[in-house]
Amino acid sequence: MAIIFSDLHTESGLKSLNDHLAGKSYISGEKLTKDDVKVYAAVAEKTDDFPNVSQWYGSVASQLAASFPGKAVGVGLGGQGSVSEAAIATEEKKVAPDAEDDDDLDLFGDETEEEKKAAEARDAAKATTTKKKESGKSSVLMDVKPWDDETDMKKLEEAVRSVEMPGLLWGASKLVPVGYGIKKMQIMLTVVDDLVSVDDLIEERLTVEPINEYVQSCDIAAFNKI
């Protein structure tokens, strides 16, 4: 049975969700389900005042970024590459395509024993044919704040995504209201740890000319090793 939370634009609604997530990775337990996708799309703002919601929000955003690389999940910026609410509904079907009441299905499907053995064999083969250790990667959820409510958020996103460097991959983004008509952009990025410092990316690329014409500040909302 689907789990529904109301008033997720209010502090009381977020508190209810925060209490539900206590001790859980996802809404229905340890696996992402269609309930997580629905609630993620309904949450008005992820806030550090609710740590369980914050951790859950970053995990769901990472999963959706992997499913829709390079696209803006739920953000109507009017440009190419954005993912609409209909696309999110399609993703819900991926979570549970044939069993409406089965909320424990993995987003990417369960592996069979044969698939697991084949994957282990491939990993073992790679380990014996190469000595070079691959650099670790991290998934980052970043808050990008404009100067005011008159800032063109489409141009802000274009300016942020214009930053290109080895080891940096931009992912999904979403606009979130912060008050007084102002919205911030939350954007996912994946970095190769040995090649990209997120702090340097913010200080030396995202908050200097010409991007600081649109970007007032950037903050790391969630940081997870991959």
What are residue 225's phi and psi, to 5 degrees? -75, 140
Question: Which residues neighbour 121 within 8 Å (Cβ) at sequence distance 6 or greater?
Answer: none
Mapped onto helix, strand or coil, the DSSP state of residue 125 is helix
**DSSP code at position 112:** P
Mapped onto helix, strand or coil, the DSSP state of residue 54 is helix
**Do 137-225 and 1-125 fall under one CATH topology?**
no
Q: How far apart are CA 180 and CA 187, in angstroms?
A: 21
Residue 62, number of CB atoms within 10 A of its CB: 21
- Please tell me the number of Cα atoms within 13 Å of 168 on its side-chain side: 16
CA dist 90 → 38, 64, 68 (Å) = 11, 12, 11
What are residue 79's phi and psi, to 5 degrees? -105, 175
Q: What share of the chain is helix, strand, coil (3-state, %, to 5)?
A: 40, 20, 40
Give exposure, 100-115, as e/b (b: 16+ Cβ within 10 Å): eeebebebeeeeeeee
Q: What is the pLDDT along the chain (226 residues), one digit of tens a residue?
A: 456 666 777 778 888 888 888 888 888 877 888 888 888 877 765 567 788 888 888 888 887 777 666 554 543 333 333 344 455 555 555 554 444 444 444 444 556 777 777 788 777 777 665 545 556 999 999 999 999 999 999 999 999 999 999 999 999 999 999 988 999 999 999 999 999 999 999 999 999 999 999 999 999 999 999 8
Residue ranges covered by each domain of the chain: 1-125, 137-225
Assign domain 137-225 to its CATH architecture. 2-Layer Sandwich (3.30)
Q: What is the topology classification, in CATH, of domain 1-125? A: Glutathione S-transferase Yfyf (Class Pi); Chain A, domain 2 (1.20.1050)
Look up residue 148 and give its amino acid: D
Q: Which of 66, 114, 116 is nearest to 94 (CA)?
A: 66
